[in-house]
Structure 1
Amino acid sequence: MRATLYYRGSLTSCNYACPYCPFSKNVDSRETLDKDRVQLERFADWVREQGALGHRLSIFFNPYGEALIHSWYRRTMVEFSHMAHVEKVAVQTNLSAKLDWAKELNPATAALWATYHPGETKEQAFISQAMKLYELGISYSVGTVGLRQAFPAIRSLRSQLPKDVYLWINAYKDRPHYYTDAEKAELAVIDPYFQWNLQDYSSLGRACRAGEDVFYVQGDGRVKHCYQDRRVIGHLYRDGLEGLSAKRPCRMKECGCYIGYIHMEEQPFREIYGRGLLERVPHR
């Protein structure tokens, strides 16, 4: 089976204090960090075994917190990137960690989804990190939340990043009708796919690959249908991919999260992003 796995362990700590994030400046105990490391090691053991079973995997790390400041995520990303049966390993990150380790990544399979948080880091420090990835030939996207106070930073990022680095803007949807028509037009020039993220998608009863060949894995091995439809559909280490896989129409009224709606079968996102679907890099 060719499968995509989103992995989220027990980590809930971040070194940033973004006001829109519930996990900003949360400090995990040593016990929680050790639990998260052990969980990831178990997941890595499972991944190693899947090649002999004929499975091809794409893996995305998106913990409730910043992963790459922890050595076990860095080691695991490097190892996965060199596995013959792993087609992609990607991570959601604020790019605050040193990137010396990234030289060990296989640029053919490793990728980063890098989020810029104005006010949490200096712009030039973030640009410097992004350029290091560019020089290493590692696929990555850069983005930020489209709050009005972030507009100057968004414009500045676009002017400084290489033209072939995709800059995405997460639409701020907590307030209805937040953007004027002029603002939407400006943001769409910077991010040609902004309009796709600006809307929520009617999803109730509609076909989605979540639960069929896309799985949302928790650190303890439980697998959820997705991060919005949180029903548990099985256990990774007990059921395996074949035991988990089934067509499961969505139970949610709407889907407004990128890592959810990109897997809706009637939507065009697999064609738009191609091999860059996980790290949010459009096919060119």
Structure 2
Amino acid sequence: MKATLYFRGSLTSCNYDCPYCPFSKNVDTRATLARDRDHVMQFVDWVRGRAGEGDRLSVFFNPYGEALIHRWYREAITELSHLDHIEKVAIQTNLSAKLDWTEKLNRDKAAFWVTYHPGQTKEADFLAQCLELHRRNIPFSVGSVGVRSAFGAIRSLRRALLDDVYLWVNAYKDKKDYYSDEDLIFLRAIDPLFDYNVSDYDSMGKPCETGHSVFYVQGPGIVKRCYKDRQVIGHLYRDGLEGLSKRRACGMKCCDCYIGYIHMPELKLDRVYGDKLLERIASPAVLVGTQISPS
């Protein structure tokens, strides 16, 4: 079976304190971290055990917090990247951790979804980390939340990043009608695909690959269609992929998040991102001529 698994463990701690994030500077207890480690190891054991079953799996770690400062996530990604039946393993990260461990990664399968948080790190330090990934030939995209207070930092980062690094912007949606026409012009110049993200898609009753070939796995193995849908559809370790897989229309009124709407067939975003849909790296042809001017 060909499937994509989003995994989120028990981690709720981060070394950053972004004002829009509920997990900023939260500190997990030793017990919580131990539980998270156990869940990650259990998940990796299950994936490893699927070898020889005919599966082709892609895995995306999207933790509530920063995962790569913890050894068990680094070890998990490294191991998964070398499994024959894994097509891709990616992780969302603020890239604050040291990168020497990536020397052991299979670069043909590993990828990073990197988030930039102005005010939490110096641009020069963040760029140095990005350049290190680039030097090591590890695929990655870079993104930031499009709050107005970050516009200057986002512009500066776009100028400083290598031209072949895609910089995406997540629309700030906590306030209705947040962006002016001028704001939208600026953000489209930074990210030519911004309109896909700023939109909210009517999804109720519409086809979606979530629950069929895409699954959201929570710590102990609880499975939902996607992270915004609270309905539990089964248990990974008890039901298996075959028992979980079923065509399910979306039960949400709207879909407004990248890791959700990319799985709506009607949007055909595989044509935009190709085989890098998971790590959010747009096809170069889509981005031609979209660099923002230095003015």
TM score, norm. by length of structure 2: 0.95
Report the 3-state secondary structure (helix = DSSP H, G, I; strand = E; otherwise coil) of the residue aligned with 1:143: strand
The residue that corresponds to 1:34 in the other structure is: 34
Alignment match, 2:115: 115
Query: 1:106-255 maps to which residues of 2 (within 5 A)?
Result: 106-255=106-255
Which 5+ residue runs of structure 2 have no aligned equivalent? 285-295
Q: Report what 1:15 is aligned to.
A: 15
For each residue in 1:50-92, what CA deviation from the matched residue of structure 2 results, as whole angstroms up to 9, or x when unmatched?
Answer: 1211100000000111010000000110111111110000000
CA distance in 2: counterparts of 1:114 and 1:195, whole angstroms: 20
1:8-45 superposed Cα distances (whole Å, 9 cap, x missing partner): 01011101101100011111100110111111111111
Inter-partner Cα distance in structure 1 for 2:234 and 2:173: 32
Which amino acid in 2 is paired with 1:147?
Answer: V
Q: Which 4+ stretches in 1 moved above 2 angstroms?
A: none
Q: Letter of the aligned partner of 1:252 in structure 2? A: M
**What one-letter code is carried by the residue in structure 2 that aligns with 1:254?**
C
Q: CA deviation at 1:142?
A: 0.5
CA deviations over 1:94-134 (Å, ceiling 9, x no partner): 00000001111111110000000011111111010011000
Inter-partner Cα distance in structure 2 for 1:113 and 1:184: 23
Deviation at residue 283 of structure 1 after TM alignment:
2.1
Aligned residue number for residue 78 of structure 2: 78
| Structure 2 partner of 1:259 | 259
- How far apart, CA to CA, are the structure 1 residues paired with 2:51 and 2:35? 26
| Separation in structure 1 between the aligned mates of residue 235 and residue 271 of structure 2, nearest angstrom | 30
Partner of 1:102: 102
CA distance in 1, matches of 2:54, 2:230: 28
Please name the residue that 2:270 is paired with.
270
Q: Which amino acid aligns with 2:257?
A: C
Distance 2:225 2:282 in 1: 25
Deviates more, 1:237-246 or 1:178-187: 178-187
TM-score normalised over the length of structure 1? 0.99
How much has 1:138 moved relative to structure 2? 0.6
In the alignment, structure 1 segments of 5+ residues that lack a partner are none
Q: Give identity over the alignment, percent.
A: 62
The answer for the alignment partner of 1:62 in structure 2 is 62
Any idea what SS the aligned residue of 1:233 has?
A: strand
Q: How many residues align?
A: 284
DSSP 3-state at the match of 2:266 = coil
- Say what the alpha-carbon RMSD is for the aligned residues: 0.7
Q: What SS is found at the alignment partner of 2:265?
A: coil
Deviation, structure 1 residue 227: 1.0
